[in-house]
Structure formats: C-alpha cells, structure tokens
Amino acid sequence: MPIHPIEFRYNTKEMRDLFTEEAKLQNWLEVEAALAKAHAEVGNIPISAAEEIGKKANLNYVTLERVKQIEKEIHHDIMAMVRALDEQCDGDAGNYIHYGATSYDIVDTALALQLKKALNVIENRILNLLRVLLKLCEEHKETVCVGRTHGQHAIPTTYGMKFAVWAAEVGRHLSRLNEVKYRCLKGKMSGAVGTMASFGKKGFEIQDLVMKYLGLTPVLIANQVVQRDIHAEVIVLLNYIVSTADKIAREIRNLQRTEIGEIFEPFAAKQVGSSTMSHKRNPHKSERIVSLARRIKTNIIVAFDNIPLEHERDLTNSANERIIIPESFILTDYILSQLISILEGLEFNYENIKRNLELTKGQILSEKIMIELVKKGISRQEAHEILRQSGIKSRKEGKSLKEVIIENPAVNKFVIVKELDEWLNPKNYIGTAIEQVEKVINQLKRYIE
C-alpha cells in the first residue's frame, strides 16, 4: 500500500516511472552490460560472455522479485542483482559479471543514467512552460494594470511585463539546466577507492568505453563514489526551478484575492471551493505549488551534507539519496505540470483590472505629473513635495488627484486640464513596457521554435 503522497497524488506518470525500483534495477543491469562489453572490447573477457551478459541484463530475465529474495538473505542490493543475473547467464558468462567493479561503480553510473532521463523530462516541461508564458506575453503586452511595490499601488505596468519577467527567469533555468547536464551527468568505473587497480592498465580505457556505451561522460577523478557536489548541484537546479514556480503561484494567488480579483486560476464547472462556504473560489492549485516547493527546498540541506563524506567514502549519503533525489524530481515535475495547467487556463477580469488602475483616483500617475511639472520649470524637489501633499489631500478628502492639482494655485497656472488628462491616462505611462516584452519574446522564442 502506498505511503508517500508522491506515489499516488503528486506525480506525473512520466517522471514517476523513472524512479520505480524496476527502473533502478534496469539501469543497474545496463551498466553491468556496458562493463562486460568494455571488458570484451579490450580483451579482458570473451566476447561471447559479454554478449550473453548483455542479452540477459534486463527485466525479462532478472526480476525485481528474485533480486529482493536474494537481498533478503545477503543484505546487499548490488550483489543480489549480480547473483540474479548470474543465475540467468548460460555457460561461464556469469563469471565475468561485475568484473573489477565496486558497487558504486554501478550505483553512481546508473544514477547518472537516471538523472539524464529525469533532466530530459524537466527540460521538456520547462520548454512547455516557456511556450505558455511567451504566448501570454504576446496576448497581454498591452494589457495595462497597476504595478505594486511593497504591496502598495505604484505606477502602471502591463501584464505582459509580468509574464515576460517570469519567462526570462525560465529561460535562465534552461541555460542552467544545460550547464548541469554538462557538469553532472558523470559516471565512474574505477574500483574500490578510485585507483582503477582492479582494472589494471586498461582502467581509463574501460571507464571511457562504459560511458561511451551509456551516453555519459566519465568523471575527472573519483574515490569510491562520484563526489556529491555534483548531485547537490542537481538538487539546487531543481530548487531554482520550483522557486520560480513558487513566485508565479504566489502572484496568481494574491491577484485572485477577493478585493483585487484581477486574474484567476482555472475553476472547473463542478469544482468545490469550500466544504461549507459554497461561494468560495479558492486558488488551491497555486497554494499547492507553494506548499510543495517548501518541501523540495529542505532537500538542499541534506544534499549539501552529503558532500563531506569521510575518507574514500562512507555510507551516510546512501539512504537519504533514495529519498531526496526521487522526491525532488517527482515533485518538481508535478509542480511544473500543474503550473502549466494553471497558466493555460488563466482567467482575466478586465473590469477589475481597470477598477484597480483607478482605485487611487490618479495617484499612481503622480510620478508622471512630477516629471511634467519639472519640464514646466518647477524644481524636481518642489514638484515631488507638491505631489506628496496632493496625494495626502486626495486620500483624506476623497478627491481625485486631478481635482486637488487643479485647486492648487502653485500648479494650476502651469497646467491646462487637457494635458492633465493626458498625464493621468495610465496607458500613456508604461514607458518601454511593450518593447521590452517584444524583446523577451524575440530572444526566447528560439528555445521553442
């Protein structure tokens, strides 16, 4: 019976299937087959033995059930796999299984295979996210809304700008992911403490051949294990990604607040918001993303603690990696799939967007008016103070900023109503927002074309 929610609730089948026990066993077997093939190529073992090992090194012959049976007796998972494969090999081929290798030659190289497949899934998911964001950039590059800093109304911006900022961040994650692939998809085949003594003078050749067969690159140097800064970097990458998802989800959640109500995550026709408050439309999908992101962030500490292993290695990384690596990948992938779904179905309330633009009765254009007053000959500091006092009066008396300015004799002699109306139009004060969004679209669309 499943216990961890990633097994039955927070997963996609595509990623979950990469981290099953069967998938891990298959990766181990692929490494054993590659090792045997390398030995045969350098003349260490008969070609026929390598072919037999390669033929039988799969789940059709070596079952998880049998490996578990053996492991229960000998308390060693890799040796259980080796014995189960040996049982299936004809002739003397079984004599050459795991020849010269230590357990973590198999485990770490198989882990690199797993990471390669999982990072490919994440990459495709990020590309889909970027595709959705760029579409939103294009559709909303001219959708003017109020900008907020410190939770307060600032000056006008556009929804296209919001989406473009997120898209640019996602684009950086693609660059980071490619760098991580280059640095972290590393395997090893170097024996008990990394000296390659068990492989003799052909150690480098064997290691290079194994990695070539598996589509990996060899580490520059290792002891008994691939050094854990590599795996910590992978976990950090996933946290970069989920932190962006966290940011986006929080913004959607906040903009869906009843008193703001500008955008909404999708809500199905029969969806229930609350078990008792039937009127509610809770942004629970966005909140779920924020919640799961917190869980993934905790795995960074564990990954960093795995780096300082003692001497040529100890086992303190092993047990926790069986948890933090699958958990981080499965939850990151789930978060991305959920975020894509939210953004694809995002709903806009244009009336509320307009209402919020006008909520402060023109005060969000105070900077624009200050700049224009300076052009009229008023000093910048004097203009700032005039607008500061005007804002206070506007709030206190419930008047529009336009009314307050017109009533101010220090200002009205410089300003005519027609130009004041132009200054107070939010669409006239978005700077290069549209051009910036178009720049982002043009630079990032190469990833998805």
Residue 150 appears among annotated catalytic residues: yes
CA atoms of 334 and 161, how far apart (whole Å): 26
Burial degree of 209 (CB within 10 A; 0-12, 13-18, 19+): buried
Strand partners, 217: 186
Angle at 234 between CA 229 and CA 237, to 5 degrees: 120
Residues 6+ apart with CB under 8 A from 253: 283, 286, 287, 290
Contact 253, 290 (CB under 8 A): yes
Which spans in 99-158 are helix H?
103-140
What does DSSP assign to residue 335?
H
Tokens 């090999």 label which residue?
A: 89
Strands (E), 312-427: 347-348
Q: 229-239 burial string, b = 16+ CB within 10 Å, else e?
A: ebbbbbbbbbb
Rounded to whole angstroms, how far apart are CA atoms 11 and 16?
Answer: 6
Q: Which two tokens stand for residue 356?
A: 């919020």
Cβ neighbours for 208, distance < 8 A, ≥ 6 positions apart: 218
Rounded Cα–Cα distance for residues 32 and 97 (Å): 7
Instruction: Respond yes or no: is residue 140 known to be catalytic.
Output: no
Q: 111: which 2 tokens? A: 């882990």
- Looking at 4, 48, 76, 274, which residue is catalytic? 274
Exposure of 202 by Cβ count < 10 A (0-12 exposed, 13-18 middle, 19+ buried)? middle
Is residue 156 helix, strand or coil?
A: strand
What is the Cα–Cα distance from 223 to 226, expressed in whole angstroms?
7
Tell me how far apart the alpha carbons of residues 226 and 240 are, in angstroms, rounded to a whole number.
23
282: phi > 0 → left, psi -120 to 50 → alpha, else beta; which?
beta
Residue 206 class from Cβ within 10 Å (0-12 exposed, 13-18 middle, 19+ buried)? buried
Of the candidates 75, 150, 279, 311, the residue annotated as catalytic is: 150
User: What's the token pair of residue 314?
Assistant: 């100890």
Catalytic residues: 150, 274
